[in-house]
A = this chain, B = another copy of it.
Amino acid sequence: MNYSHEERSSWSPQQARNAFRNGLCRPTSGISYGYAQANLIIVPAAQAFDVLLFAQRNPKSCPLLGVLEAGQIEGPLLAGGDIRLDLPRYTVYEYGVKIAEPTEIVDYWRDDLVTFIIGCSFTFEAALLADGIRLPHIEQGVNVPMYKTSRRCNTAGTMSGPLVVSMRPIPSHQVADAVRITSRYPAVHGAPVHVGNPHQLGIEDLSQPDFGDPVTIENGHVPVFWACGVTPQAAVMETRPELAIGHAPGHMLIIDVPDNKYLIP
Interface residues of A (CB under 8 A from B): 45, 48-49, 52-53, 55-57, 64, 67, 69, 156-157, 183-184, 186, 264-265
Contact = CB atoms under 8 A, between A and B. Distances in A.
Given A53-B67, A69-B157, 6 more contacts: A45-B49, A49-B52, A52-B53, A56-B64, A69-B156, A264-B264
Contacts of A52: 49, 52-53, 56
Contacts of A48: 49
19 contacts: A45-B49, A48-B49, A49-B49, A49-B52, A52-B52, A52-B53, A52-B56, A53-B67, A53-B69, A55-B56, A56-B56, A56-B64, A57-B67, A67-B156, A69-B156, A69-B157, A183-B265, A184-B265, A186-B264
Q: Which 7 A-B pairs give the minimum distances between C-beta atoms?
A: A49-B49, A52-B52, A56-B64, A48-B49, A53-B67, A183-B265, A69-B157
Contacts of A186: 264
Nearest to A56: B64
A77 to B, nearest CB: 12
Nearest to A59: B64
A56 B49 contact: no
Nearest to A155: B69
A183 B53 CA distance: 25
Contacts of A64: 56
